[in-house]
Amino acid sequence: MRKKEAIAIIITLLLGMTAGCAPGDISRYTARAQQAGKEIFEGETAPAFAENETAAEPGSETENGTAAEPGSEMESGAEESGEMVTNTGAEPETEALEADGAAETENTAGADEAQEAEQSELPAMMEAADERIREAVAQKAEAITGKLAGADVLSQEEQEALRAVLDSEAYDDSTLCLINSGRFDGQTEGSFLLFFDSTSLTARGKVSGELWFYGGKKAVKIMGEADFMRLEPIQCGGGTYMLSQIETDEKVIAQVYRVEDGKAAACFMGAVSIEQEGDELRVNYKADHIQYDPAKGWSGGEAEITYFYVPDGGNFAQIGIREMTEEQYLAYIQPDENDAEEIRFEREQEEKFYDTRQNEQEYRYSFFAIGDDRIGYRECRIGFADEDADENGHEVAEYRYCISKLEDGKLTQQCETLSGSGYYFGEWRQKEEELQKLSQIPPMYLKYRIDRAEQTLGTKEKAALQCVQKAQAYDADGLCFVLQADYDGDGEPETFAAIGRYDGPFGAPVCDLWFVSGEDPVLLAENLPVKSAFCFESGDTTLFLLEGYAVEGRKDRLYCVVEGKPQRCLENAAEIEIEENGDLMARMANEAGEMPRYYYVQGGQVTEYGSEEIDLKAILDYENGKALYKRLQKTAEALREELSCVRRENGLIQVMFTDEDGEVSYETYRVQDKALVLTDCGDAGCGIGTEEAAVTEEAEATEETKETEETKETEETEMTEENGKA
């Protein structure tokens, strides 16, 4: 038995000496020596070994590196150990134990740290992150924050969180961990842990990993494998939250995690980016409602729409939006009467919302306020061609928005402004409900509801509507525009009927156009956005005009009836207008900048008026011709454009301006009381008025200066003469 004791002690001493530890630390290896003794003596354990283990157990001094006093039996047994180890063949076992002890000593700073490392079973790269890894993490520190396990000192709570995750899931040696800890619920300590691949970080510069949360009880994975673009705690409204932004499957997702009752919950599902602005969050969502096609529905793009949120009871609430009128919006512009820039800004804003409406441009605006310090508007431009449509194009509506932050309660040109494409909903989470509300029929169209119209239509009109309903059924809450007349003059009425629905996103009825003569309805067109429909007389003929929207503005449809059959007139017209005398003016599609064309109707035929080119000096024959001629010459010279002139058979005179690129603008005049009156102009021609005003103002200013100088010179002469007399 004495021999067994001595061998056990020798094994212990050799293991400790090989590992390079101090004599006082030898007890750390007694457990391994005891195991070796068991194997040598087939499970038998010497009583003296237990005694030595107790005597050599290190205290606080031993942990600090102070050597413990060895027992006398340990000293005497050392002399016999060499022979016993050699004869028993225990040397290979001793070398294996020495290697284990050396590795353990190298990776730990003390006995307790080694034991903790064994318990946590950290992947190697978490235990000690090399310089290359630290530099890679540092480059991401601006967007992704946290303590790096193996590089930063972790608190006890952070170590507990780390162990809790590793107890749930194993990670290999290429894994790193960033930890963000704090009182996210305002009470207890919690930790967000990002486990990510070091290979991906150093090779691609991407932080690819998984996000966990530990709230003191259990570690829960809250985000699976993803590329993290941003991860940082934020302070907002007195609370602490975790902000993350990831990219997965070519999609960007931004979220804010809040903690309640030790559990993390994600806010702002569907957001693509989130920015903090004081105690507010600016949350951007993908603008999936940018363009609307009555035939296809909504389509989106790459744009983003911004909404604003504030903390509310541990969660977040969207800042309230309330509708405004145009007058209330403009009332926030309060220019200083001495500030020319502020006055100019006010006029620009008024023209933006007023002149476009007066000029019948297809823009529609609605106004709103966000909280107490932001105001904005939605802009809907209707009548555009869809790039993905066929050669004729589809009628689409495009949406934009603009939000301005007020300065001291005022809207100025210097105010911070956010703008972009997309429909701005009052409540993002309830956008589908809001879209449904858009399709509610406005009061102006209620009388055209099919169920109401049937009660007011005449007998023959009602019969025509019922004839169409037999061919194709329409809902009772749809719309119908029924226009009946003797279009071909044969004594029997014919009917044009536009029947369909009110399309809220497009902001107009969208109808199928039918023609009914007798009991045989004919479908002329489908899904036409309708602005208005009416019949009128021109010359000796009654015609039907449907005003709509499409490529390059309105897409109007003009029909006459010949021998009981509908015939479309001016098929390429984008816009048709009725003159005071019943003649027609039409602007052709795809002829932007060209002069409008003029037509008369006779015998059911629509014929264009002829024209002849005349010398510009012909306008000198009219009372105001001399002044007009002078102004036109100056304008053309200033714009470096060539002038030409034509006279239409209907008496109109048109002056054309042609620039170096061949683009044409025009001014149209009619004769009234022996003078020429401007009745119409192309876009460039309208701008000429501004040029004319500038030239006139400059001339008036020059004349005023000249008169002032002449007056001053006269006064000086008179004063000199008076002094001479004196």
Q: What is the pLDDT of residues 284-299, one digit of tens each?
A: 999 989 999 888 889 8
CA distance 366 to 333: 17
Predicted confidence (pLDDT) at residue 120 exceeds the cutoff of 90: no
Rg of the Cα atoms in the chain: 44
Average pLDDT over residues 160-184: 90
- Give the model's pLDDT for residue 595: 72
Whether 587 and 595 have beta carbons less than 8 Å apart is answered as no
Per-residue exposure over 191-221, b if at least 16 CB sit within 10 Å of its own CB, e if not: bbbbbbbbeebeeeebbbbbbbbbbeeebbe
pLDDT at 16: 46
Residue 28 or 286, more confident: 286
Q: Which pLDDT band holds residue 124 (cuts at 50, 70, 90)? A: confident
For residue 258, the cross-strand partners are 265
pLDDT of 452 strictly over 90: yes
Render pLDDT for 353-368 as a digit per residue (tens, 0 to 9): 876 555 555 788 999 9
Place of tokens 């169409």: 468
Mean pLDDT of 177-201: 90
Task: Give me the numbers of helices (H) and strands (E) for the chain, helices first please.
Answer: 18, 35
Beta bridge partners of 276: 281
Place of tokens 């016993």: 84
The per-residue pLDDT for 719 is 53
The percent of residues in the chain predicted with pLDDT above 90, rounded, is 46
Question: Per-residue pLDDT for 709 more than 80?
Answer: no
The average pLDDT across 107-132 equals 59
Which residue(s) pair with 304 in the sheet?
A: 286
- pLDDT higher than 80, residue 408: yes
Contact indicator for 613, 642 with CB cutoff of 8 Å: no
pLDDT band at 68 (very low <50, low <70, confident <90, very high): very low
Contact 681, 688 (CB under 8 A): yes
Beta bridge partner(s), residue 267: 256
Degrees to nearest 5, angle at CA 601 with 600 and 607: 60
User: How far is Cα 450 from Cα 454, in angstroms, rounded to an integer?
Assistant: 6
Query: For residues 380 and 287, is the Cβ–Cβ distance under 8 A?
Result: no
Query: Residue 716 — pLDDT band, cuts 50, 70, 90?
Result: low
Q: Give, for 15, the enclosing helix (H) or strand (E).
A: helix 2-19
Question: What pLDDT sits at residue 85?
Answer: 32
- Report which DSSP code applies to 70: P
pLDDT over threshold 60, residue 472? yes
User: In degrees rounded to 5, what are phi and psi of residue 429?
Assistant: -70, -20
Cβ-contact 621, 660 below 8 angstroms? no
pLDDT score recorded for residue 43: 45
Mean pLDDT of 229-257: 90
Cα 521 to the center of its chain, rounded Å: 47
- Give rounded-to-5 percent helix, strand, coil for the chain: 35, 35, 30
Greater confidence (138 vs 130) lies with 138
Q: Which pLDDT score, from 0 to 100, does residue 109 have? A: 44
Per-residue pLDDT averaged across 448-454, rounded? 94
How far apart CA 47 and CA 65 sit, in angstroms, is 28
- Mean pLDDT in the chain? 78
Query: What pLDDT was estimated at residue 293?
Result: 87
Phi and psi angles of residue 66, each rounded to the nearest 5 degrees, phi first: -80, 130
Structure confidence at residue 483 (pLDDT): 96
CA distance 336 to 426: 32
Q: Who has greater pLDDT, 14 or 407? A: 407
Higher pLDDT, 459 or 58: 459
The pLDDT-based confidence of 411 (bands split at 50, 70, 90) is very high
What DSSP line would sit under 273-285, residue for residue?
EEEEETTEEEEEE
pLDDT beyond 80 at 700: no
Q: Helices in 331-473 by DSSP H: which ranges?
A: 340-358, 431-438, 450-456, 459-471
Q: Are residues 614 and 629 in contact, defined by beta-carbon separation less than 8 angstroms?
A: no
Question: What is the arithmetic mean of pLDDT over 208-236?
Answer: 92
Q: Are 179 and 242 in contact (CB under 8 A)?
A: no
Q: How high is the pLDDT of residue 571?
A: 87
